[in-house]
Structure 1
Amino acid sequence: MTPETQHIGALRGKVLIFGGVYSNYQALEELYKLATKENIPAQNIICTGDIAGYCASPVECLDFLEDWGIRAIQGNVEQNLLNGTDDCGCNFSEGSRCDFFAKQWFPYTAVRMTRRNLNYLATLPLFIDFEYAQKRVKVLHGSMQNISEFVFKSTPWEVKATSFEAANADVILAGHCGLPFADAQADKLWLNAGVIGMPANDGTPRVWYVMLDDANDTFSYEFRSFEYDAGEANQLMMENGLPYSYSETLLTGLWDNCDILPDEETALQGVAIEL
């Protein structure tokens, strides 16, 4: 049985952090090319969860990540696939558009899971912790308390502080919310790399990840974005009867709705992100 937390010791050199593959094989393939170009070893690449979901290629993405040999944690999607639950566990409001669409894409994903996929998911921990440039780092999906908790930049620091206390960490690398951001207070840093499977609701088809650097034994980070063959990913979604609105998001960069977003993030819909 995989432990709740995987302790991986100290990492050195550049570390690539990404999340939310969302079954988008075309985006994952492009990220692999970027990582290979920069000579980032697999042990220095970490996924913050939600490998499956939304898009059309869950099996291909899970097989690819397992073969790549990178580190990853479970997101709520992986947890619910393992538990045999009939929904994604994304913490969507009952009856919302997100909830409506999840009832379409989650069964599509669940029915395609192979024994290999489920065995791989069962090896993934809920958390990873490591030391990096004299910082204690914790990788989680939503929060320490709730794998499905949406934490945004506008989320009050008091909420984030509870996770820092529980994690005993200086840096938290999080996923789930779909938007890239950094928030720092009192020598603590909450860093969300964003996701590669869907655009960040900013009106562009770009997707996001983060590169950590320990040059001069100093912790630093850089948000990076890239484009990929979103047209092919869009076409595969339509061919497989997945939600049209979500397939269009891959091209327009705009989410179908802002149900999960606080007012501050909602006001930024369609505004190109600069990080």
Structure 2
Amino acid sequence: MDKKIEHLGKLSGKVLLFGGVYSNLQALEALKRVAESENILPENCICTGDIVGYCSQPEETVQLFKLWHAKSIAGNVEIQLSNEAEDCGCDFKKGSRCDGFSQQWYPYAQSKLSKSSLEFLKPLPDHIEFNYAGKKVTIVHGSYFNTSEFIFKSTPWNTKKSNFDVTKSDVIIGGHCGLPFYHEKENKLWINPGVIGMPANDGNPNVWYTILNDKNETFNFKHHSLKYNYKLTNKLMQNDILPKEYARTIVTGIWDNTEILPAIESGLQGFGIQL
């Protein structure tokens, strides 16, 4: 199937990058305030996908995203929702805890989304491309080849390199794995800006995003942590339908399990983000 790629041309000024809103309305509201305080235009605010996910307000989150006029690619969740699929397509191991949790939150999200929200999600592109400070940038969810592929900092460079080769990009912005990182090699740069819907398994309820800056016509980036009203998010998730374990993670900053993580990232649980 042909990929749908949105070409934005040349961007300038600050660019706000984030992923995994995961139906966390309070985090999205806080990030929108950051964009406004930094004078970042909505068209320079780009999500790596999974606007919908684990938290309690999928409909409200999609509607706020729509009103904001920020941009996004389709994550695996948007693809599955658009196809009326029965699971989230996260590529969790069958029978794992994450797989079990998805059987709770995904049907909940499906049941809450309006026709208007589904119509907004359905045409989202697979990838976004733009030029920035003399570099070609491509946005992917998991990888260019597989929306649900988990790419971490410890993932071998050859796996990342194939994405640069096929897209002819200098910079790739990835999502899906839930952890912020960057990996630079051979004059290529892979950035995961982090997600705002869930903490990064670092023992802190704050979440993560990244801002690009083209000051002096050079490519600059910086990861930032985001404070938001996580206590309200946690309270709203106490509804006897959503996994209590995810509600707990919102407060503790610690994932219920590390099934998807490679050994290196698993060993860093609770030790803070190493950038």
Please say whether Structure 1 and Structure 2 have the same fold, judged by a TM-score greater than 0.5. yes
Q: Secondary structure at the match of 2:237?
A: helix
What SS class does the counterpart of residue 221 from structure 2 fall into? Answer: strand
161-170 or 245-254, which deviates more = 161-170
Structure 2 portions without partners, runs of 5+: none
Aligned counterpart, 2:5: 5
Matched, 1:271 2:271: yes
Q: Which runs of 4+ in 1 moved over 4 A?
A: none
Match of 1:129 in 2: 129
Calculate the aligned-residue CA RMSD, in Å: 1.1
**Kept in 2: contact 1:20–1:49 (CA 8 A):** yes
Tell me the equivalent position of 1:237: 237
1:25 match: 25
1:179 counterpart = 2:179: yes
How many residues end up aligned between the 2 structures? Answer: 274
Give, in angstroms, the shift of residue 137 of structure 1.
Answer: 0.3
Tell me the distance in 2 between the aligned counterparts of 1:273 and 1:181: 8
Q: Is residue 77 of structure 2 the alignment partner of residue 77 of structure 1?
A: yes
Query: Which residue is 2:255 aligned to?
Result: 255
Mapped to 1, the partners of 2:119 and 2:39 lie a distance apart of: 29
- In 1, Cα distance between the equivalents of 2:109 and 2:118? 12
Q: What's the offset of the Cα at 1:235?
A: 0.8
TM-score by length of 2: 0.98
Secondary structure, in 3 states, of the residue corresponding to 2:152?
A: coil
Deviations 1:79-130 (A, max 9, x none): 0000111000000000000000000000000111211111101221010000
Q: TM-score, normalised by structure 1?
A: 0.98
Give me the whole-angstrom Cα distance separating, in 2, the residues matched to 1:165 and 1:136: 12
1:239 CA displacement: 2.4
One-letter identity of the residue aligned with 1:79: I
Q: Which residue is equivalent to 2:189?
A: 189
Identity level (%): 51
Kept in 1: contact 2:108–2:241 (CA 8 A): no
Q: Which residue of 2 aligns with 1:115?
A: 115
Q: CA deviation at 1:241?
A: 2.4
Match of 1:92 in 2: 92
Output the CA distance in 1 between the equivalents of 2:120 and 2:89: 19
Pairwise CA distance, 1:274: 4.5
Unaligned runs of 5+ in 1: none
2:28·2:61 contact (CA, 8 Å) conserved in 1?
Answer: yes
